[in-house]
């Protein structure tokens, strides 16, 4: 296991893509995006990867893009965030008992990481999970995040099937809960509604 490396270039495709993005957008963060939130969380939220004009631009997960709208609004409504909107890294936002990370730390082309990249980056997630408080729960936003958690535990990807609001007991006693990703597509098609999302968080807060 290894801790997050802000200068990681282990995935050639992603490293080259970030070089291109940085040249086109010199004011963008355009680097591996670190986790954000409480140092001793009760809940670790695992997303997919930085978005081009979101975390890849701002340097903070789910910040400055559409996917973060529902996430941060929900956290605020439940008293887990100091503000309902996450716009940039200097906005003073704080999370309470929550930490947000991604299965893949670098922006992938078309927001689609390759399996080899997911596996390469999984060592960072494995390290982060191992350092969590024993009573910390995990929330996977989407199947890629769900599978990344299983990989971090050396579990077969078929052993705990992904499904919205599904609950899984992990080998160390922690609880993993699934949700559809709060992406623009999922929310606009109403595959994921605000109420569905809030119910997942409400369960995590009381389980």
Q: What is the pLDDT of residue 2?
A: 80
Domains of the chain: 12-206 (3.40.470.10)
Q: Which two tokens stand for residue 102?
A: 């991604």
Bridge partners (DSSP) of residue 37 are 99
Per-residue pLDDT at 62 = 97
Query: What's the confidence (pLDDT) of residue 1?
Result: 64
Tokens found for residue 84 = 């309902």
DSSP lists the bridge partners of residue 138 as 44, 176
Alpha-helix residue ranges (DSSP H) falling in 48-193: 55-58, 67-77, 115-130, 143-152, 184-188
**94-128 pLDDT, tens per residue?**
999 999 999 999 999 999 999 999 999 999 999 99
Mean pLDDT of 162-183: 97
Q: Residue 11, SS3? A: coil
**Quick check: pTM over 0.95?**
yes
**Closest by Cα among 33, 152, 40 to 102:** 33
Q: For 163-166, which contacts have Cβ atoms below 8 Å and span 24 or more sequence positions?
A: 164/192, 164/196, 164/200, 165/196, 165/199, 165/200, 165/203
Answer yes or no: is pLDDT of 206 > 80: no
Look up residue 37 and give its two tokens.
């939130």
Helix (H, G, I), strand (E, B) or coil at 37: strand
Residue written as tokens 């680097």? 31
């Amino acid at each position: 296991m290894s801790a997050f490396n802000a200068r990681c270039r282990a995935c050639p495709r992603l490293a080259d893509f970030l070089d291109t993005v940085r040249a086109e957008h010199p004011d963008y963060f355009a680097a591996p995006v670190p986790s954000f939130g409480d140092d001793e969380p009760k809940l670790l939220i695992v997303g997919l990867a930085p978005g081009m004009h979101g975390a890849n631009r701002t340097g903070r997960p789910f910040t400055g893009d559409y996917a973060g709208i529902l996430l941060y609004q929900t956290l605020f409504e439940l008293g887990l965030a100091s503000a309902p909107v996450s716009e940039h890294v200097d906005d003073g936002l704080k999370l309470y008992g929550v930490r947000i990370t991604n299965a893949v730390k670098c922006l992938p082309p078309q927001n689609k990481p390759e399996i080899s990249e997911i596996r390469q980056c999984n060592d960072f997630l494995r390290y982060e999970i191992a350092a969590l408080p024993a009573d910390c729960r995990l929330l996977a936003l989407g199947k890629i995040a769900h599978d990344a958690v299983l990989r971090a535990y050396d579990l077969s990807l078929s052993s705990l099937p992904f499904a919205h609001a599904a609950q899984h007991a992990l080998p160390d006693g922690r609880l993993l809960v699934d949700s559809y990703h709060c992406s623009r597509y999922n929310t606009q098609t109403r595959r994921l509604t605000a109420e569905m999302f809030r119910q997942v968080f409400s369960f995590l807060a009381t389980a």
